[in-house]
Amino acid sequence: MSELQVIEEKNYSIETRIEQALVKENITDKIISGLKESYLPLKINGQDDKEGYKKVVEARKDCKGWRVLAKKVCKDGREDAVKEQKLWLETEKRVVGEIESVETYLETLEIEYEAEKNRLKAEADAKKELIAAHRYNQLISLGATTNGISYILEDVSYEILVIKGADEDIFNSTILTKYQEIFNRVEAEKAEAARIKAEFEAEQQRQREELERQQAELNAQREAFEKQQAEAARIENERLAREQAEKEKAEAEAKRVEQELFDSVFKERISKLKGWSYNGVNVIAPDGNIIGGKERVVGFSEAEFGQIVSTNIEYHKAKEAEAEEKRQAEIKAAEERAAQQERDRIAAEKQAAEEKKRQDELLEVERIANAKDKELWAEIVKYLENIPKYEFRSSQYRTKNKALRDFLTDLK
């Protein structure tokens, strides 16, 4: 890297370098939004929805790839400095968290699908074992014996797996019928042989011995069946334990969602009640009345809450009417004060007019008096103007003469 490139890289902010590192790997808000928009709507509609399950698994793997890539980019980026490390960790938490939320959602769907699939398989297997045991008993009761691989009755032989997996109709109409036919024939032969006592007794002894042998085999089969049952019970117990854990997890999530819904309903309702407040313990009405805790407000039925809202509106209308009445009273008082001030102004103007008239009369009297004084003063000035004018030689008297002339000028 050139020195110029190093300088230019240092001029970039940490945020810009982080953003560029993510963009370089195409990890952008647009990609994350695309994951949410594409994958969060995915659903698995039951065990038969193979395509939906496949899409969920592929989507989860895609999200995992993005999450792992985002985590790697952020981990590499934060090795440069402590400050960058902190910012990378924050970015990793945000980006990985958002992707992981989608992945977790998809993984939950996947786990639920697999658990349901295993449960249904276990139920089906247990049912098949019960049906198979019943079929074995039927064949044994007809005289069939087993060598561990097949159930044999004279020339009729069917493998245990065929008997176990056969359709119900096929088993009853084909397999069981063949054993039944032989059994019926044998029974007929036994009935015929019953006429001969010795042969009958010999046949009875043989049949008792055969029955004991078959009983021993049946007991062995029963023990094997009981072992199978025990194993099925163990599997069932493990399934129940997993289901209980999943149930507890679901209940915890439901409780969280319920709490969020509870808080949302409380916030919405309290926003509709003007003047109501919550002090952390109780809700208090505008008139100071303590309503109760959040549960009391959320617990109101829609009808009750609607009535409370109406009462709240009427309360504030009454308060507004009271305030309006007070305002009108203040306006009326202000108008009365203004009217009184106007009356006082008119009275003051009347008094001032009367005073002015009196002053004008005094001024007129003074003017008339001054007119006569003016005539007298004019005579004095005229007299003074007739004073002889002399030329003085000394500066002393010239100054006095000038002062006299200035004085006469001022008198004019």
> Which amino acid makes up residue 144?
A
* pLDDT at residue 6 tops 60: no
What DSSP character marks residue 42?
-
pLDDT band at 44, cuts 50/70/90? very high
Dist. CA 260–CA 266, nearest whole Å = 10
Report pLDDT for 412: 66
Report pLDDT for 61: 94
- Calculate mean pLDDT across residues 206-224: 88
Closest CA to 84 of 6, 18, 5, 7: 18
Closest CA to 265 of 294, 307, 286: 294
* pLDDT at residue 43 tops 90: yes
* pLDDT at residue 1 tops 60: no
pLDDT band at 80, cuts 50/70/90? low
Report pLDDT for 152: 93
Dist. CA 309–CA 315, nearest whole Å = 10
Report pLDDT for 84: 65
pLDDT band at 4, cuts 50/70/90? very low
- % of the chain exceeding 70 in pLDDT: 95
Q: Phi, psi (5° rounding) for residue 292?
A: 135, -170
- Calculate mean pLDDT across residues 197-213: 86
Of 44-58, 123-137, 336-350, highest mean pLDDT:
44-58
Sequence-ordered alpha helix ranges (H) in 166-301: 168-170, 176-193, 197-272, 294-299
Report pLDDT for 123: 87
Tell me the per-residue pLDDT of 369-398, one tens digit each, with 9 for 90 and over.
677 777 887 778 777 777 777 788 888 888
- Calculate mean pLDDT across residues 322-327: 85
How many residues would you count in the chain?
A: 412
Tell me the per-residue pLDDT of 82-112, one tens digit each, with 9 for 90 and over.
576 677 778 888 888 888 888 888 888 889 9
Residue indicated by tokens 């402590």:
82
* pLDDT at residue 339 tops 90: no
What DSSP character marks residue 280?
S
* pLDDT at residue 3 tops 50: no
Dist. CA 145–CA 152, nearest whole Å = 5
Among 7-11, 132-136, 216-220, 249-253, whose mean pLDDT is lowest?
A: 7-11
Q: What is the mean pLDDT of the chain?
A: 84
Dist. CA 74–CA 52, nearest whole Å = 33
Dist. CA 130–CA 5, nearest whole Å = 77
Give kind and range of the element (H or E) at residue 77. Answer: helix 50-77
pLDDT band at 323, cuts 50/70/90? confident
The percent helix, strand, coil of the chain (3-state, each to 5) is: 80, 5, 15
Non-local CB neighbours of 174 within 8 Å, separated by 6+ positions: 166
* pLDDT at residue 216 tops 50: yes
Report pLDDT for 7: 44
Dist. CA 382–CA 384, nearest whole Å = 5
